[in-house]
């Protein structure tokens, strides 16, 4: 952005932060925003609470610069959309509450968007200091390479407000993957989507060990069944179904061998190939090309755990749906 541009000519920016029980990282997030180089009178910070029961709002109220709004009992896409409804800026920036930014993050992002006003620009997630094994192989970065593709991460998106509203905002039915869905719809409308690693944010809230990681994926996928048929637009859901089919066939084949050898082969292929599809996608997306064999195996294992968690979430959703129908029948009697 030109240093000679006066503050009055800078676009007014609305930073939208959805929160739900984020007391652990919110202070770090908001503190980093207080240090932004972008003029304070040219941006606002909107915190949209989804019904927190911890100290989230108490922490947010320490910052007079933060405008607090409440939108309860909806999915994160609806929370973000509500923030846009309240936004005054012509530029909207989405940031997650467990992320921290550098001093020039907003200045650089707005400058890039001003130079490309018909685009939506996203950053990536960076590792915190001293990451765990799981974090290291879950968060892959491109080391500065700008990527032109259709992928966005919800925790770092710069968009003209008009473009966002015209596209219909985030899908409010999706439990997860609303950022990728947005990118796909933008691309279909021939709107340029660019991922610029220089705008990346440090993501503090990644699970650091196996069980919380699986638990998070379970939660993200627990509403896939309730979201049908909308969930069928989510490629991750479709890949999870293929992985589930493979696991089911593999277990069945082991029980009924030797009658089901062909099923065993197909099922084993699905179980081992599906995580590989995710790994290839993530490696290509990040642009990493200097990994050792151990690194590639570790990336694959993380994606296998990812699909295990997603599978458990789908099974949980099926169980809840069947339980709901059973209870409904009892009430009708």
Say whether pLDDT at 12 is over 80.
yes
Task: Round the average pLDDT of the chain to a whole number and report it.
Answer: 89
Say whether pLDDT at 68 is over 90.
yes
Per DSSP bridges, beta strands 66-70 and 91-95 are unpaired
The model carries a pTM of 0.82
Quick one: pLDDT band at residue 33, thresholds 50, 70, 90? very high
Domains of the chain, by residue range, sit at 7-203, 210-332
Complete edge-to-edge strand list for the sheet that includes strand 13-19: 66-70, 43-49, 13-19, 91-95, 156-160, 119-122, 192-195, 147-148
DSSP string computed for 63-83:
-TTEEEEE--SS-HHHHHHHH
- Please state the separation of Cα 54 from the chain's center in Å: 22
Whole-angstrom distance, CA of residue 47 vs CA of residue 30: 10
For the stretch 79-90, pLDDT in tens is 999 999 999 999
Residue 124 is encoded by which pair of tokens? 């990536």
Q: Percent of the chain at pLDDT above 90?
A: 65
Instruction: Select the more confidently predicted residue: 145 or 31.
Output: 31
Give residue 258's pLDDT: 62
Mean per-residue pLDDT, 71-99: 97
Give residue 78's pLDDT: 96
Give residue 104's pLDDT: 98
Give residue 254's pLDDT: 76
Quick one: pLDDT band at residue 2, thresholds 50, 70, 90? very low
- Give whole-number Cα distances, 88 to 16, 46, 64, in Å: 11, 10, 17
Mean per-residue pLDDT, 39-44: 97
Residue 165 is encoded by which pair of tokens? 């509203």
3-state SS, residue 319:
helix
Say whether pLDDT at 146 is over 80.
no
- Give whole-number Cα distances, 290 to 166, 200, 294, in Å: 41, 21, 12
Query: 7-203, which class in CATH?
Result: alpha beta
Quick one: pLDDT band at residue 142, thresholds 50, 70, 90? low
For the stretch 309-327, pLDDT in tens is 999 999 999 998 888 666 6
Say whether pLDDT at 117 is over 80.
yes
Give residue 148's pLDDT: 46
């Amino acid at each position: 952005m030109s240093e000679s541009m006066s503050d009055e000519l800078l676009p007014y920016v609305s930073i939208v932060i959805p929160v739900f029980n984020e007391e652990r990282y919110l202070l770090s997030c908001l503190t980093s925003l207080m240090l932004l180089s972008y003029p304070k009178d040219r941006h606002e910070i909107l915190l949209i609470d989804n019904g927190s029961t911890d100290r989230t709002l108490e922490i947010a109220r320490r910052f007079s610069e933060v405008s607090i709004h409440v939108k309860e009992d909806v999915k994160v896409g609806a929370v973000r959309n509500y923030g846009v409804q309240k936004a005054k800026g012509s530029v909207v920036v989405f940031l997650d509450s467990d992320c921290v930014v550098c001093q020039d993050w907003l200045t650089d992002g707005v400058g890039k968007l001003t130079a490309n006003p018909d685009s939506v620009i996203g950053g990536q997630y960076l590792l915190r200091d001293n990451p765990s094994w799981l974090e290291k192989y879950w968060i892959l970065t491109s080391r500065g390479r700008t990527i032109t593709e259709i992928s966005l991460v919800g925790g770092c998106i710069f968009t003209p407000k008009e473009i966002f509203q015209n596209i219909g905002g985030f899908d409010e039915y999706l439990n997860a993957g609303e950022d990728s869905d947005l990118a796909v719809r933008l691309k279909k409308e021939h709107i340029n989507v660019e991922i610029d690693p220089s705008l990346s944010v440090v993501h503090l809230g990644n699970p650091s060990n196996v069980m919380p990681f699986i638990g998070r994926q379970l939660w993200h996928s627990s509403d896939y069944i309730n979201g049908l048929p909308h969930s069928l637009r989510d490629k991750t859901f479709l890949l999870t179904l293929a992985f589930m089919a493979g696991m089911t066939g593999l277990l069945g084949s082991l029980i009924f061998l030797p009658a089901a050898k062909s099923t065993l082969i197909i099922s084993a292929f699905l179980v081992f190939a599906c995580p590989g599809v995710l790994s290839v996608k993530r490696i290509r997306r990040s642009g990493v090309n200097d990994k050792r064999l151990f690194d590639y195996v570790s990336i694959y294992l993380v994606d296998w755990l990812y699909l295990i968690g997603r599978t458990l979430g789908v099974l949980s959703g099926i169980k809840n749906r069947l339980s709901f129908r059973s209870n409904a029948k009892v009430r009708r009697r």
